[in-house]
A and B are shown apart, each in its own frame.
Chain A
Amino acid sequence: MGDHLKRHHIALRAGTAVAAVTSLLALSACGARVGEETSAASESCVDVSGDSIKIGFINSLSGTMAISETTVNDVLHLAADEINEAGGVNGYELEVVEEDGASEPATFAERSQRLIAQECVAAVFGGWTSASRQAMLPVFEGNNSLLFYPTQYEGLEASDNIFYTGATTNQQIIPALDYLLEEEEVESLYLVGSDYVFPRTANMIIKQWADENDVEILGEDYTPLGSTDFTTIANQISRSGADAVFNTLNGDSNVAFFRQYNSLGLSAETMPVISVSIAEEEVDGIGASNLEGQLTSWNYYQTLDTPENEAFVEAFQEEYGASRVTSDVMQSAYNSLYLWKAMVEEADSFAVDDIRDVADGISFDAPEGTVTIDGETQHVTKTPRIGRINADGLIDTIWEGELTEPDPFLETYSWADEEEAEEFAEEAGEGDDADEGSDD
């Protein structure tokens, strides 16, 4: 009996040892593989021996974000075609490799890894939601590769491996607030948003700004993404008597919100709504009649009267049909390809480090006006523009700010509480990690 126990014990120990050795072996194998990967990545596999160069587009061509992101994909192709027709980049023809992010952050990460490591693209263009950008960020940093991200977003980020060609908060949200204060003389605001990272960060900044400027925040409501019932919120807004509503709702919720807002007799005259995620593309689905007279804050509108924009809109409609419209994010995506081209030509190289070295001050005469890269944050300069939605569903500029340097961390604003912002950014990051975990 005793012997038996002892033998059992030994057998167990031997088993443990075997397990330990196996796992060690496995670990070392893992380590080796990781090492190989990093070394392979640091000397990038981009092939410059032929007469064409590969670039990657990653957009959601399926899933809930496809509505918005396919338009960006269209315009990226337009830019690539234009560049190829004009002789390519540094004599190389662009060869586009396309991936579908499928509206899933995890898919964005995996597909961008494929673009970089297997397709060996020189740069990747795309992404829309902050969740997709945050999921791709470690992939691009780990491979020292380049992502061009075209969407306006909540700021508080600057990665060496991302060029941000959309607006950050000080180029969209703060100008919208300044406009409301100076031109509409609002003294109170009501905040409505979808319940995720962008609206909550935006509203945190709005509240700090309001403190500084003695504007009263009369209410702050969030609804789940895709929510269709705004009866209670519309009631509360109506009863609050606020001077204006700041709207950070996303997607289809806007339709329900504006229909129910209007049906209570509220309108642009009685209580204007300023929106930061409704552009020309969305107006059609919401119904121009539900939106007429309401305000938006962007850097670009299809109606902008510049020769660059005229050519851009004409080229886009020729390619995709006269009924199609152009929007801010589309335009930023279009610019991103040209900015990359300008950097490559300046650096005379496709290498990421060389591009980064020349980035500061590179500019492009974009449809929205000349945009220039700030080398430190890798964001671009933008002109804030407040627009009013007209009966045709297009947006007319009614106010234009100064050309604004990007300031993603709001360092130049005394009222911005840095600690709160950092804490918030961290929490948001953690929250997204948790989301990704559940996606797996």
Chain B
Amino acid sequence: MDFVLPQLVAGLSVGSILLLAAIGLSLTFGQMGVINMAHGEFIMVGAYTAFVTQGVLGHAGLSLLVSIPVAFVVGGALGLVLEQTLIRHMYHRPLDTLLATFGVGLILQQVARDLFGAPAVDVQTPSWLRGSVEILGTAVPWSRIFILGLVILVVAGLSALLAYTSLGRRIRATVLNRDLAETSGISTRRTDRLTFFVGSGLAGIAGVTVTLIGSTSPTIGQSYIVDAFLVVVAGGIGKIKGAVIAAFSLGLLQAFIEYSTTASIAKFLVLVIVVAFLQFRPQGLFSVRTRSLA
């Protein structure tokens, strides 16, 4: 039984990364119905932002903290440009957004390759995030605790934004019934743009955190995009709560199955479980009850 606790911790830390990768997508795909295949590349852009920030500031600890808001703005700005130039023309054609954003993702990968070279670059982990702390007899890496803390902050911030701010109210109104929202005087264009900015910015933040655990290379987005969609779909489209529960459930499932089998089999079984689950609940764990006819 002594494997339960370490795997519990492992599952939580896998889940926290899944959630960070998925939370921005939950906003743009879930709330707005845009299938943004370039979301993974926004994560990649966030990771390179951390790399560049570190190059400029030099200090690993300071640059990590600075790069979080910077990556949010860089990712957000990129999302804004994408929304303005491509996606806004395709709001009623989700499959077209899939193809167009897939192409954008490829372009971004190539740009990264030209700017930073094909090999992975090294983003150093600050000294205070190295090593681990013993909790109940289990070594828990500091970097994982940091990511878990960050994801709690992000989810709390996003929930507060949706619940208490006027932007949040406008987003929710637009999601529930776009036409009615518009006739009520809400500028849905402006709401779309801001939603996209926030969603893509969150991908940027996710990018900073993945530099703590893995490589920073032009193709890292690919490692997270499938899992991110999995979380959003399993959690129920358009619900932050669903994404949170789905991410941690999948993380724990992965950790425990992997412990008793292998990494490949665990990945496969998690997919099978999600597909089976969606047979019973096609709408996912939670879903938006919409009053619109569409």
Interface residues of A (CB under 8 A from B): 64, 66-67, 70, 195, 221-224, 226-229, 231-233, 235-236, 238-239, 252, 254-256, 259-260, 262-265, 281-282, 284-290
From A222, A255, A265, B215 is in contact (CB under 8 Å) with A255
Nearest B residue (CB) for A287: B122
Closest to A228 in B: B214
By size class, the interface of chain B is 35 or more
B219 touches A64 (CB 8 A): yes
A254 contact set on B, CB distance < 8 A: 215
Task: Report B's interface with A, CB cutoff 8 A.
Answer: 3, 6-7, 10, 13-14, 17, 118-125, 130-132, 139, 141-144, 210, 212-217, 219-220, 222-224, 254-255, 258-259, 262-264, 267
Q: Which residues of B contact A263 (CB under 8 A)?
A: 125, 130-132, 141-144
Closest A-B pairs by Cβ, 9 of them: A285-B120, A255-B215, A263-B141, A287-B122, A256-B214, A228-B214, A231-B10, A252-B215, A223-B263
Q: Assess the B139–A264 pair: CB atoms within 8 A.
A: yes
Q: How far is the CA of A232 from the CA of B213 in the complex (A)?
A: 13
Query: Contact between A235 and B122 (Cβ–Cβ < 8 Å)?
Result: no
- Complex partner residue of A66 from B118, B122, B144, CB under 8 angstroms: B118
The answer to whether B264 touches A195, judged by C-beta atoms less than 8 angstroms apart, is: yes
State A224–B143 Cα separation when bound (angstroms). Answer: 23
Residues of chain A within 8 A (CB-CB) of B213 are: 228-229, 256, 259-260
A260 touching B124 in the complex, CB below 8 Å, given contacts A223-B263, A228-B214: no
Q: A195-B264, A231-B14 are in contact. List 4 more A-B contacts (CB 8 A).
A: A223-B263, A252-B217, A259-B214, A262-B131
Are B139 and A221 touching (Cβ within 8 A)? no
Contacts of B14 in A (CB 8 A): 229, 231
Chain A residues with CB under 8 A of B215: 228, 252, 254-256, 285-286
A228 partner residues in chain B, CB cutoff 8 A: 210, 213-215, 220, 223-224
Residues of A close to B118: CB separation below 8 A: 66-67, 70
Most buried by A among B118, B141, B254: B118
Let me know if B119 and A284 touch, CB within 8 A. yes
Complex partner residue of A252 from B13, B141, B220, B259, CB under 8 angstroms: B220
A231 to B6 alpha-carbon distance, docked (Å) = 9
What residues on B are CB-neighbors of A285 within 8 Å? 119-122, 215-217
Closest A residue to B212 by beta carbon equals A259
A238 to B224, CA, bound (A): 26
List 16 interface pairs A-B (beta carbons < 8 Å), by A numbering: A224-B263, A224-B267, A228-B210, A228-B214, A228-B224, A229-B17, A238-B139, A252-B217, A260-B141, A262-B131, A263-B131, A284-B119, A284-B121, A284-B122, A285-B215, A285-B216
The listed residue (B210, B224, B259) touching A232 by CB distance below 8 A is: B259
